[in-house]
Amino acid sequence: MLNGKPLVLLSLILTLITFYKWIVILYCVFSFLYAFGTLDGRSPIVFQIGRFLARMTEPVLTPIRNILPRFGNVDISPIVLLLLIQYVVVPLVVRLYIWLVIGPRVSF
């Protein structure tokens, strides 16, 4: 039987994935507010938050942008990233979690 450490690790991974999804959503909202002039880019705190969100999301969004065709000024890479996380990464982690709890005898 498992001693619980892999389950804690998988729970931590799912929590980090959820946290990252919220960072991507915040990045989208922040970029919209900045583009429409609601946020002042000269404010140091706004600049720091924007830089943090960009550093967290851009390394993942840039390869997606390179693959996707251009849709004018609309950037759909965050939507694609969120869909990939929701429908590819999370189910894989959940299946691994089930495999660790029940055992390898269960077929997927």
The alpha carbon of 95 is separated from its chain's Cα centroid by a whole number of angstroms, namely 19
| Total count of domains within the chain | 1
Q: Does the pLDDT of residue 3 top 80, yes or no?
A: no
Alpha-carbon dihedral sign for residues 46, 51, 56, 58: positive
In a domain, 21, yes or no: yes
- Are 65 and 75 in contact by the 8 Å Cβ rule? The answer is yes
* Average pLDDT of span 32-61: 94
Question: What's the alpha-carbon Rg for the chain, to the nearest Å?
Answer: 18
In a domain, 108, yes or no: no
Rounded to two decimals, the pTM is 0.84
In a domain, 14, yes or no: yes
In a domain, 15, yes or no: yes
* Average pLDDT of span 63-78: 91
Average pLDDT, the chain: 89
Amino acid identity of 6?
P
In a domain, 73, yes or no: yes
In a domain, 33, yes or no: yes
In a domain, 107, yes or no: no
In a domain, 52, yes or no: yes
Domain range holding 77? 5-102
